[in-house]
Structure 1
Amino acid sequence: MSAPDLIHAGAPAAPWVRVRDVTPVPWRNGGGLTRPLWRGAQWTLSLADIGGPGPFSAFPGWDRTFLLAAGDGLGLRVGDDERPLRVGETTSFPGEAPTAVDTGTGRALNLMALRDRVRGSLLVRTVHGPWQRQPLPTSLRALVVLAGRLEVAGSTCGSLGDTLLVDHLARSDRVTGRHALLAEVHLEPRTRSPHHPLERTGSA
């Protein structure tokens, strides 16, 4: 799975990236489609459609965090590691590692971080009422709707993959969840040499 370009063409005028406005593009290996939600020089975020078994694209020098957002479960394989995933679970792996889906279909959030520069993570949270994370963590870059609705500045989004870019929020903007399941996107600068964990998996 891939982002087609690693340079973003320009910041949106509003804090939302609505998935309905994002044109699907082919994976780098041509095996499927993905919707690029953000493309930057050091990290990318996309929503991939997984229609069945097949290999992932290779991205040497990048680390990937993969969150199953919808579906009946995936049988993921990284090298010789089998990593079954249920909805809401994440796993991380080097972008150059041979990786494939052996079984299952679904939609997945795919965070890619440039290994020498940043460390990426996805944290799943349930929010009903005001989203209270003050002061905001300096690592937080975006909130992605997985289920429910998210409201900000009089605007509502509730489609899987709708993304709120935190850096584009005004100080006065109030963020409210309505039975919302969200993925927080975090990026932290690298301060030491990265390592490749054999397996790093978490769940909501």
Structure 2
Amino acid sequence: MQLLTPADYRDMPWKNGGGTTRELYRLPYPSDPAGFALRLSIARVEQGGPFSAFPGIDRTLLLLDGDGVALRFADGPETRLDRLLQPVEFAGEIPVACRLLGGPVRDFNAMVARDWGRLALHAVDVAAGGRLALGGTSAVLAYLHRGSWRGEQAAPQSGSLLVLAAGETCELVCEDGGCAIVATLDMLAP
């Protein structure tokens, strides 16, 4: 198991130059280390505009805070992302324009190379004193969005990311009630 904290994250410009994102985790693509097979990040969106294109990448967005955004996909109708932790999935090569529904927002962005793996992303609310069991047959990445957490090996802070390889397990207790954003990753056979 790997524990990453905000000190491990890096801020970087958006591919389209329209803003910045905080990259939480990046796994290089096996045949192209400059690219990525998996990337988790948090973006602060201050104004509307086009999304960066990521051909061959499947994306999932979750709204972390703010009034939300309206996403206009070139291949379909407008989609509103206006409920906290509501997921929206789309192909990275589809042109997308974003319109803010109010002020700035922060979103959680998970991206995986379509020919490398499959990713399922969901938010898990944990009551005060409740347990969060992670791991199993798939790799798991868990971003501790809110709450005070403790585990057998560590007491990770809110804002930390736990990375578990397939077969690893971990159980955390949330002292005061909180939320984790859990990504389950299944890699495709080579």
TM-score, normalization: structure 2? Answer: 0.80
Give the residue type in structure 2 aligned to 1:119: R
Question: Residue 33 of structure 1 aligns with which residue?
Answer: 20
Question: Residue 131 of structure 2 aligns with which residue?
Answer: 131
Question: Residue 175 of structure 1 aligns with which residue?
Answer: 172
Stretches of structure 2 lacking an aligned partner (at least 5 in a row): 30-36
Question: Residue 42 of structure 2 aligns with which residue?
Answer: 47
Distance 1:140 1:61 in 2: 21
Distance 2:67 2:12 in 1: 24
C-alpha RMSD over aligned residues = 2.4
Pair 1:165 & 2:163 matched: yes
SS in 2 for 1:133: strand
Q: Cα deviation per residue 1:26-69 (whole Å; 9 max; x = unaligned)?
A: 00111111111111122111111111201111010111111111
Greater fraction of residues in strand? 2
Distance 1:111 1:102 in 2: 20
Pair 1:188 & 2:186 matched: yes
- Within 5 Å, give how 1:18-29 maps onto structure 2: 18-29=5-16
Distance 1:169 1:107 in 2: 32
Q: Residues 77 and 190 from structure 1, CA distance in 2 versus in 1: closer, same or farther, beyond 3 angstroms?
A: farther
Distance 2:115 2:18 in 1: 28
Query: CA shift at 1:189, angstroms?
Result: 3.2
1:140/1:184 contact within 8 Å kept: no
Query: CA shift at 1:24, angstroms?
Result: 1.1
Give the residue type in structure 1 aligned to 2:46: G
Q: Residues 145 and 58 from structure 1, CA distance in 2 versus in 1: closer, same or farther, beyond 3 angstroms?
A: same
1:150/1:156 contact within 8 Å kept: yes
Pair 1:66 & 2:61 matched: yes
SS in 2 for 1:24: strand
Question: Residue 194 of structure 1 aligns with which residue?
Answer: none
Stretches of structure 1 lacking an aligned partner (at least 5 in a row): 1-13, 192-204
Distance 1:81 1:175 in 2: 40
Question: Residue 116 of structure 2 aligns with which residue?
Answer: 117
SS in 1 for 2:112: strand
Q: Which of 35-44 and 55-64 deviates more?
A: 35-44
Distance 1:59 1:174 in 2: 34
Q: Cα deviation per residue 1:162-193 (whole Å; 9 max; x = unaligned)?
A: 2111239986x6422231111111112348xx
1:15/1:169 contact within 8 Å kept: no
- Within 5 Å, give how 1:193-204 maps onto structure 2: none
Q: Which runs of 4+ in 1 moved over 4 A?
A: 168-171
Q: Residues 102 and 120 from structure 1, CA distance in 2 versus in 1: closer, same or farther, beyond 3 angstroms?
A: same
Question: Residue 97 of structure 2 aligns with which residue?
Answer: 100
TM-score, normalization: structure 1? Answer: 0.75
Query: CA shift at 1:139, angstroms?
Result: 2.4
